[in-house]
Structure 1
Amino acid sequence: MSLTGILNRAAMAVVTLLGVAVIVFGLLRIVPGDPIAMMISPGASAADIAALRVRYGLDSSIPVQFGVWMRDMLAGDFGTSISLKRSVLSLLLERLPATLELAFAALLLGVLGGGLIAILATLARRTPLDPLIDVLNGLFLAVPDFVWALILVLVLGVAFPVFPMSGRIDPSLSQGFATNFYLIESLLTLRFPLFADILSHMVMPVLALGLPLAAVIVRTLKEALSEAMLQDYVALARLKGMSELRLVVQEALRNAIGPTLTLTGVQFTFMIGGTVIVERIFSYPGIGNMAIDAVINRDLPLIQGLVLMFGLIFIVINIIVDMLGALFNPRMKHG
C-alpha cells in the first residue's frame, strides 16, 4: 500500500469517527430515560437535580452539549463517568488491555487452529475424513460465541471444574503490575506461576471467541486451497516430484492466504464486538463487560467513550488488514 493510500485511509478514519460520534451522541440524547434520575436519592431537591445537570453538562441544548463534548474530547477529556465518578479515558485505558489480550489470544487460537485444520482437510480431500471435517465445521459455524461460553461454563466450570469461571486473575495475585497487560507482563517478567493463573482464567473465554473464528477460517481457507490446488503451477510442481504437504504449504497456501486474511479481519472485528457478551458471562473485566454496565446505568459519557473506542479499534483493524492484503497481494500495492 502506498503512502497516499495510507493517508487516504487515515483521513477516512477521522471522518468515520466523527460520524460515529455524531450518531451516538444524538441517539443517546433522544432515547427515553434520564441518567440524572438514576443518580439522585429519593429525597433529592430540585436544586440538587439542577446542580447535577450543570455538573454533567446536561442543562444546555443538544448542539451546545455536542460542541462542548467535541472540544473537550479533542483536548483528551472524554468526560466523567456518571455511575463510576471517574475519568472516562482512565477507565477505558484501564479496561482496554484486558479485552485486547483476550481478543488477540482468541485470534491466535482461531488462526492457528483454523489454518491447521484447513491444511489437514486439503491433504485429506477425496477421503472419508474430508466430509467429516465439513460436517463438524458446519456445526461449529452454527454455534455463536455466547452459546459456546455457556457450554464451556457448564462443562469445564460446573461438571468438570477445570478452569476458573470468572475474573481475570486470582485476587490475591493481582498486585505488583506495572501495566494492565497482565498476561504479557507476567510472561516478560518470567513470573510463570502468575502467567499460568492468568492463562487459566482466559481459557474458556478465549475458546468461546476463538472457536467460531476458527470455523470461518477453516471454511474460507479450505475453499481457497482447493482452488489453488487445481492451478497449473501446482500441477507442474507435482510433476517435479514435490510431496503433497509441500504442494499445499509451499505452493498453494501463499496464494490462498489473501482472501482468507481479508475475511479474518472482518470476523475479528465481529469478535471484538462479541467480547461484550462473553466478558459478561465470565465476569471478565474488559471494556465489553463495562459497556453493559454503562448501558444499564445509562452512563452517557462512558457509553460515548466506549462506542468511540470500539469504532477506533474497528478502523485500525481494517487499515491493518488492508496493509497486510497489499503485502500478500502485489496487485493491491498501488490500489
Structure 2
Amino acid sequence: MLRFFLTRVGLLIPTFIGVSIVAFAFIRLLPGDPIMLLAGERGVDPARYAELQAMLGFDKSIPVQYYNYLVDILHGDFGTSIVTKRPVLDEFLTLFPATIELALCAIILATLIGIPAGVVAAVKRGSWLDQGLMGTALVGYSMPIFWWGLLLIILFSGILQWTPVSGRISLIYFFPQVTGFMLIDSLLSGQSGAFKSALSHLVLPTIVLATIPLAVIARQTRSAMLEVLGEDYVRTARAKGLPPRRVIGVHALRNALIPVITTIGLQVGVLLAGAILTETIFSWPGIGKWMVDSVFKRDYSVVQGGLLLIAGVIMLVNLIVDLLYGLINPRIRH
C-alpha cells in the first residue's frame, strides 16, 4: 500500500508543474497592465513605472519570472493581491470554507439521491421508472446552471418567498467565525434562528450545484450496476436463495462502487467550476465569486494564485480517490 501511495504522489509532481505553467502563462495573456492598476487612476510616470515593474519582477525575462514564481510557491508564497494588498493564500483560506461547505452539501445531496436512483433504474431496467429516472437525469445534466439558478430564485425566493435570494446568513445575526462553516458556527453561537437562517440560505445554491453531479452519478451507477448484475457471483447468490436486498446491496452494489467513486471524485472539479457560476448568482462569498471579481478587477496575482490553489485541491481529491480504489479492491494496488 505504501508503494501504491508513493507512486500516486509521484505522479502529482509533473501535474502540479504543468498546472503552474498554465496558470503562469494564462495570467500573462489577459488584457490590461497590473502596474497601471496598482498605480491607480492618476497614472504613473516612466520612472515610477520602472520601479513598480522591478518590484513585481516584470523587468526580468519570462523564464526567470517563472522560476522565481515557482520558488515562491514552494515557500508557500502565492503572491499578494493588488487590490486588497493581502496575501493570496490568506484570502483563499478565509473564503475556502464557504466553498467547501457548499460543495460538500452538494456532493452529499447528489450521492444520497444519485446512487439509489441509479440502483433502482438498473434493477427496474426498461420499466417506466427506469426511463423516468434516467430522463430526469438527462434533463438535469443538460440544464445550464445560471438558468436553473435564476428559475429557482424566481420561484422559491420571488413568488413563494420560501428562501433568501443571496448570501450565507441574515445580516441580523453576528457571531465569531470559529470554523468558517456557517452551519457549524451558527449552532455554536447559541442564537435561536441563526442555524435556520444559514440552512435556508444554503438550500437553493446546494440544489443548483448538485444537479449536474447528481445526474452523472445516477447514470454511472445504473451503468455499473447493469454490468455487475450479469456476473456469475450475483447469479450464484440469487441461486442460494439470498434476499434480493442482500444480493443487490452487498454483492452487486459493493463491486459497482469503484467506477461510481471515480465519478464522485471527478465531480469535485465540476463542483469547483460550477461554484463560480453558483456563487456569482447567489452572491455566495466563496472562492468562485472571489475569482470572478478578481478577473473583473484585473487582480492578476489572485487569479494566478487562485487557479493554482484550486488545481491543488482537485489533485488532492483525485489522490484520495486513487487510495480509496486500493482499499475497496486490493487487486488495484498490486
In structure 1, how many angstroms separate the alpha carbons of the residues matched to 2:324 and 2:191? 34
Give per-residue Cα distances to partners, 1:11-60, cap 9 Å, x unaligned.
22232222211222123224432122234344334044444434433343
Asked if 1:250 is matched to 2:250, the reply is: yes
In structure 2, how many angstroms separate the alpha carbons of the residues matched to 1:331 and 1:192? 52
- The aligned counterpart of 1:113 is 113
Offset at 1:241?
2.9
In structure 1, how many angstroms separate the alpha carbons of the residues matched to 2:331 and 2:191? 46
Asked if 1:148 is matched to 2:152, the reply is: no
Amino acid at match of 1:27: F
Q: Say if 2:8 and 2:322, in contact at 8 Å, map to a contact too.
A: no
Give per-residue Cα distances to partners, 1:121-157, cap 9 Å, x unaligned.
2343353322222222221222143332222222222
Identity of aligned residues (%): 37
Offset at 1:117?
1.4
TM-score (norm 2): 0.91
- The aligned counterpart of 2:21 is 22
Distance 1:74 1:229, change over 3 A: closer
- The aligned counterpart of 1:34 is 33
Distance 1:257 1:87, change over 3 A: same
* 1:205-284 matched pairs, under 5 angstroms: 205-284=205-284
In structure 2, how many angstroms separate the alpha carbons of the residues matched to 1:307 and 1:177? 25
Give per-residue Cα distances to partners, 1:298-317, cap 9 Å, x unaligned.
21211111011111011011
- The aligned counterpart of 2:315 is 315
SS class of match (2:43): coil
Give per-residue Cα distances to partners, 1:281-300, cap 9 Å, x unaligned.
11111111111111112212
Q: Say if 1:234 and 1:252, in contact at 8 Å, map to a contact too.
A: yes
Offset at 1:189?
6.8
In structure 1, how many angstroms separate the alpha carbons of the residues matched to 2:29 and 2:120? 53
In structure 2, how many angstroms separate the alpha carbons of the residues matched to 1:280 and 1:106? 16
In structure 2, how many angstroms separate the alpha carbons of the residues matched to 1:123 and 1:22? 47
Moved more, 292-301 or 72-81: 72-81
Moved more, 158-167 or 99-108: 158-167
- The aligned counterpart of 1:201 is 201
Aligned length: 333
- The aligned counterpart of 2:176 is 176
Offset at 1:200?
1.5
SS class of match (1:171): coil
- The aligned counterpart of 2:64 is 64
Q: Say if 1:167 and 1:285, in contact at 8 Å, map to a contact too.
A: yes
In structure 2, how many angstroms separate the alpha carbons of the residues matched to 1:255 and 1:296? 47
- The aligned counterpart of 1:90 is 90
In structure 2, how many angstroms separate the alpha carbons of the residues matched to 1:287 and 1:277? 11
Q: Say if 1:294 and 1:303, in contact at 8 Å, map to a contact too.
A: yes
In structure 2, how many angstroms separate the alpha carbons of the residues matched to 1:106 and 1:30? 33
Unmatched segments (≥5 aa) in structure 1: none
Amino acid at match of 2:112: L
TM-score (norm 1): 0.91
Give per-residue Cα distances to partners, 1:204-250, cap 9 Å, x unaligned.
11111112111111111112212222222222322333333332212
Unmatched segments (≥5 aa) in structure 2: none
Distance 1:250 1:8, change over 3 A: closer
Distance 1:125 1:85, change over 3 A: same
Distance 1:123 1:22, change over 3 A: closer
In structure 1, how many angstroms separate the alpha carbons of the residues matched to 2:205 and 2:52? 39
SS class of match (1:245): helix
Moved more, 118-127 or 86-95: 118-127
- The aligned counterpart of 1:102 is 102
Q: What's the RMSD between the two structures over aligned residues? A: 2.2
In structure 1, how many angstroms separate the alpha carbons of the residues matched to 2:37 and 2:313? 30
Q: Say if 1:166 and 1:282, in contact at 8 Å, map to a contact too.
A: yes
Give per-residue Cα distances to partners, 1:183-216, cap 9 Å, x unaligned.
2344467767333222211111111111211111
Distance 1:72 1:141, change over 3 A: closer
Distance 1:187 1:241, change over 3 A: farther
Amino acid at match of 1:302: V
Distance 1:122 1:297, change over 3 A: same
In structure 1, how many angstroms separate the alpha carbons of the residues matched to 2:255 and 2:280? 39
